[in-house]
Chain A
Amino acid sequence: MPAIQSPATEEVHPDVALVARAKEGDTAAFEQLVRQYERQIFRVAQHITQNREDAEDITQDAFLKAYEKLDQFQGNSKFSTWLVRIAVNESLMRLRKRKTSKTVSMDEDVQTDEGSIPRDFAEWRPNPEQQYNQAELADILRKTIQGLPPGFRTVFTLRDVENLSTEETAEALGLSVPAVKSRLLRARLQLRERLSRYFRQKQEGQPA
Chain B
Amino acid sequence: MNCTDLLSHLSDYFDDQLTTELREEISEHTAGCQHCRVVLNTTHQTIEVYKGNELYEVSPGLRERLHSAIMAKCLAKK
Q: Could you tell me which A residues sit within 8 Å of B by CB distance?
A: 27, 30-31, 34-35, 38-39, 42-43, 46-47, 52, 55-56, 59-60, 63-64, 67-68, 118, 121-124, 127-129, 134, 137-138, 141-142, 145, 156, 160-161, 163, 166, 181, 184-185, 188-189, 191-192, 195-196, 199
B46 touches A35 (CB 8 A): no
The majority secondary structure among interface residues of chain B is helix
Contacting residues of chain B (8-54) with chain A, CB-CB under 8 angstroms: 8, 10-12, 14-15, 34-35, 38-39, 41-43, 45-47, 49-54
17 more A-B contacts (CB under 8 A) besides A63-B74, A118-B39? A27-B75, A34-B67, A38-B58, A38-B63, A47-B56, A60-B70, A64-B70, A67-B77, A118-B7, A121-B34, A124-B45, A141-B55, A161-B55, A181-B12, A188-B11, A188-B43, A188-B46
A121 touches B39 (CB 8 A): yes
A122 touches B38 (CB 8 A): yes
> Which residues of chain A have C-beta atoms less than 8 A from B67's C-beta?
34-35, 38
Answer whether A60 and B56 are a contact pair too, CB < 8 Å, given A192-B46, A195-B49. Answer: no
Nearest-neighbour CB distance to chain A for B65, whole angstroms, equals 8
Answer whether A30 and B43 are a contact pair too, CB < 8 Å, given A123-B38, A141-B49. Answer: no
Nearest-neighbour CB distance to chain A for B9, whole angstroms, equals 9
> Which residues of chain A have C-beta atoms less than 8 A from B55's C-beta?
43, 47, 138, 141-142, 145, 161
> Which residues of chain A have C-beta atoms less than 8 A from B35's C-beta?
118, 121
> Which residues of chain A have C-beta atoms less than 8 A from B41's C-beta?
123-124
Nearest-neighbour CB distance to chain B for A90, whole angstroms, equals 13
B77 touches A68 (CB 8 A): yes
> Which residues of chain A have C-beta atoms less than 8 A from B73's C-beta?
60, 63-64
B74 touches A124 (CB 8 A): no
Q: Is B69 an interface residue (CB 8 A)?
A: yes
Give the 5 A-B residue pairs with the shortest CB-CB distance, closest first.
A185-B11, A67-B74, A192-B46, A46-B56, A63-B70
> Which residues of chain A have C-beta atoms less than 8 A from B42's C-beta?
123-124, 192, 195-196, 199
> Which residues of chain A have C-beta atoms less than 8 A from B46's C-beta?
188, 191-192, 195
Q: Is B1 an interface residue (CB 8 A)?
A: no
B70 touches A134 (CB 8 A): no
Q: Closest residue to A191 on the B side, CB-wise?
A: B46
> Which residues of chain B have C-beta atoms less than 8 A from A163's C-beta?
51
Complex Cα distance, B8 from A105, in Å, reads 25
